[in-house]
């Protein structure tokens, strides 16, 4: 998965809770739950899911462990998930995570396959740093981002196929937007999410990206990818207007947040190889205004 908050200590030593969820969501863009608009009765469940994903993401990304050690830890984490999902004892290593997640799975009949999809994306992050084409990237998004939206809709009791497809569009767009805003960070960590076929079509060499070289070709490539992300977001945005109550308002803000980041990328002339866009207080006001009049 794509980086989660770095301001928290080792997840294995912390007790995941609602307060941590609401303040720790700061950097995990494709987990659209950080809002007081969440129904209070659902916040513990959302916190449990969040900390499950957050901890697995840290296993895949944080520290200086070798790839083989990361994969071994993720396999152990997966074993604990399957144990708690079937009511069997789990190891004490991540007890703070699974003590919360177990009752949530039972209470809400969470689809465990969505949780294992997330784990498969974390495992892929350990071993795969390049994507040949858009299809490969979208398959990654299907497992790294889309399960989050589907899990949240499940908590709200929304299960129809149309809503799920729209949720997938929103979550995929959030993941893609996260990629395009974080190019300067990801590339320095060895990961290039810009698909190879799109790079070739725009005349961009991998060496140019590794050097964070900004030129007309790289700008055109990032512009192309950003516009594709916007189209995907707009394709799913109707869901925010169809979902009733507080969940719908939260989703409106999620959609507008993603679109506003794309506005900021465009304002930088798509030069995110050298500068990462950031939202400020004015942007939040713009998002709220746009959400109100969606």
Contact 260, 284 (CB under 8 A): no
How much of the chain is helix, strand and coil, in % rounded to 5?
A: 70, 0, 30
pLDDT of residue 27: 40
Q: What is the rounded CA–CA span in Å between residue 119 and residue 275?
A: 30
The CATH number linked to 280 is 1.10.600.10
Question: Both 80 and 167 in a single domain?
Answer: no
Question: Both 2 and 104 in a single domain?
Answer: yes
202 contact partners, CB below 8 Å, separation of at least 6:
217, 218, 220, 221, 224
Per-residue pLDDT, averaged over 219-223, amounts to 98
Give the range of the structural domain holding residue 53, as residue numbers without chain letter: 1-127
Q: Is 210 helix (H, G, I), strand (E, B) or coil?
A: helix
Overall number of domains in the chain: 2
Contact 47, 21 (CB under 8 A): yes
Question: Both 35 and 147 in a single domain?
Answer: no
Q: Is 192 helix (H, G, I), strand (E, B) or coil?
A: strand
Q: What is the rounded CA–CA span in Å between residue 25 and residue 46?
A: 12
Q: What is the rounded CA–CA span in Å between residue 179 and residue 174?
A: 9
Question: Both 108 and 173 in a single domain?
Answer: no
179 has a pLDDT exceeding 80? yes
pLDDT band at residue 273 under the 50/70/90 scheme: very high
233 has a pLDDT exceeding 60? yes
Q: Which residues pair with 192 in a beta bridge?
A: 130
Per-residue pLDDT, averaged over 194-219, amounts to 97
Question: Both 286 and 170 in a single domain?
Answer: yes
Last residue of a domain, one of 127, 151, 181: 127
Question: Both 120 and 253 in a single domain?
Answer: no
pLDDT of residue 39: 80
pLDDT of residue 2: 52
Question: Both 154 and 280 in a single domain?
Answer: yes
Contact 273, 212 (CB under 8 A): yes
Question: Both 284 and 138 in a single domain?
Answer: yes
Q: What is the rounded CA–CA span in Å between residue 169 and residue 59?
A: 27
Last residue of a domain, one of 81, 103, 127: 127
Per-residue pLDDT, averaged over 200-213, amounts to 97
Last residue of a domain, one of 80, 109, 127: 127
Question: Both 100 and 160 in a single domain?
Answer: no
Task: Kindly report the number of other CB atoms within 10 A of residue 107's CB atom.
Answer: 12
Contact 187, 209 (CB under 8 A): yes
Average pLDDT across the chain, whole number: 88
226 has a pLDDT exceeding 60? yes
């Amino acid at each position: 998965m794509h980086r989660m908050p770095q301001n928290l200590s080792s997840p294995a030593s912390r007790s995941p809770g609602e307060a941590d969820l609401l303040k720790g969501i700061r950097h995990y863009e494709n987990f659209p739950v950080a809002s007081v608009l969440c129904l209070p009765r659902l916040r513990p469940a959302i916190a449990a899911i969040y900390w499950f994903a957050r901890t697995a993401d840290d296993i895949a990304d944080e520290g200086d462990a070798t790839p083989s050690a990361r994969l071994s830890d993720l396999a152990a984490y997966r074993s604990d998930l399957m144990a708690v999902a079937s009511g069997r004892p789990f190891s004490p290593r991540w007890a703070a995570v699974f003590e919360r997640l177990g009752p949530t799975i039972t209470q809400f009949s969470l689809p465990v396959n969505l949780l294992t999809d997330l784990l498969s994306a974390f495992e892929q992050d350990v071993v795969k740093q390049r994507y040949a084409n858009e299809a490969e990237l979208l398959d990654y998004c299907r497992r790294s981002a889309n399960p989050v939206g589907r899990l949240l809709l499940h908590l709200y009791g929304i299960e129809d196929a149309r809503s799920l497809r729209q949720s997938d569009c929103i979550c995929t767009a959030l993941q893609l937007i996260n990629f395009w805003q974080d190019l300067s960070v990801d590339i320095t960590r060895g990961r290039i999410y810009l698909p190879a076929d799109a790079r070739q079509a725009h005349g961009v060499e991998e060496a140019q990206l590794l050097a964070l070289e900004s030129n007309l070709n790289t700008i055109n490539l990032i512009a192309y990818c950003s516009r594709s992300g916007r189209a995907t977001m707009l394709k799913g945005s109707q869901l925010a207007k169809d979902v009733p109550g507080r969940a719908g308002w939260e989703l409106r803000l999620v959609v507008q947040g993603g679109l506003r980041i794309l506005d900021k990328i465009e304002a930088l002339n798509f030069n995110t190889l050298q500068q990462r866009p950031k939202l400020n207080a004015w942007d939040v006001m713009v998002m709220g205004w746009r959400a109100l009049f969606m």
